[in-house]
């Protein structure tokens, strides 16, 4: 195994020619994230992989990259866990300074670049990567589009078994018939 590249990059190492950093965000990486942010509603079993390209433009840093892999989600209907794809790609311009200092003009900002800020002598890619993963999460976490969820009355997972709870409304006669047949 190769030694893993650090996600903390000294700003002076970033030149106009650019620097490519291979990414492999593994279970340990995720554990540290979860430690910092215990409310995360997904987990990781296999590493997310990708690359990030860093390039100096005047005092600013261009960050371009992508991540692919799989996250483990909990279905919001049936509460089962499932693996779902995650793809993040990003294109950011980091300006030196704090978030509120927005008065210098930046020629590069035409186009689709998102802007952010950095300060100090080191670029901490962790925070940036965490942010990009959060932005790439699916809006709805369903194990599949047609997930039938849990029965509101007995709590059974209706994807796996049916139950004989009386249906609440219009189809109650059908449910009663079904119950007769099942008994
Ligand atoms: Zn489900
Ligand atoms: Zn039921």
Q: How far apart are the first and last CA of the chain?
A: 60
Q: Quote the ligand 1 centre to 18 CA distance (angstroms).
A: 44
Ranges of the chain with pLDDT below 50 = 1-2, 101-102, 104-110
Q: Quote the ligand 2 centre to 82 CA distance (angstroms).
A: 23
Q: Quote the ligand 2 centre to 141 CA distance (angstroms).
A: 23
Domain boundaries of the chain, sorted by first residue? 8-136, 148-183
pLDDT confidence of residue 173: 56
Q: Give residue for tokens 């190492």.
A: 13
Q: Quote the ligand 1 centre to 16 CA distance (angstroms).
A: 48
Q: Quote the ligand 2 centre to 148 CA distance (angstroms).
A: 12
Contacts of 156 by beta carbon, 8 Å cutoff, 6+ apart:
150, 162, 163
Ligand nearest to the CA of residue 175, numbered in listed order: 2
Q: Quote the ligand 2 centre to 177 CA distance (angstroms).
A: 15
- Give pTM, 2 decimals: 0.77
pLDDT confidence of residue 5: 61
Q: Quote the ligand 2 centre to 179 CA distance (angstroms).
A: 12
In residues, how long is the chain?
A: 183
């Amino acid at each position: 195994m190769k030694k893993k590249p650090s996600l903390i990059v000294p700003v002076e190492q970033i030149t106009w020619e650019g620097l490519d950093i291979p990414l492999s965000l593994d279970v340990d990486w995720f554990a540290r994230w979860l430690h910092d942010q215990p409310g995360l509603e997904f987990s990781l079993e296999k590493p997310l992989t990708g690359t990030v390209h860093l390039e100096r433009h005047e005092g600013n840093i261009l960050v371009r990259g992508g991540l692919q892999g799989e996250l483990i989600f909990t279905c919001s209907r049936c509460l089962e866990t499932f693996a779902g794809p995650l793809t993040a790609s990003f294109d950011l311009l980091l300006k030196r300074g704090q978030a509120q200092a927005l008065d210098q003009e930046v020629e590069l900002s035409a186009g689709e670049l998102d802007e952010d800020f950095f300060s100090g002598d080191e670029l901490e890619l962790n925070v940036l990567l965490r942010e990009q993963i959060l932005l790439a999460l699916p809006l709805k976490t369903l194990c599949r589009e047609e997930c039938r969820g849990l029965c509101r009355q007995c709590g059974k997972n209706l994807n796996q078994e049916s139950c004989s709870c009386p249906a609440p409304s219009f189809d109650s006669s059908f449910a009663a018939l079904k119950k007769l047949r099942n008994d």
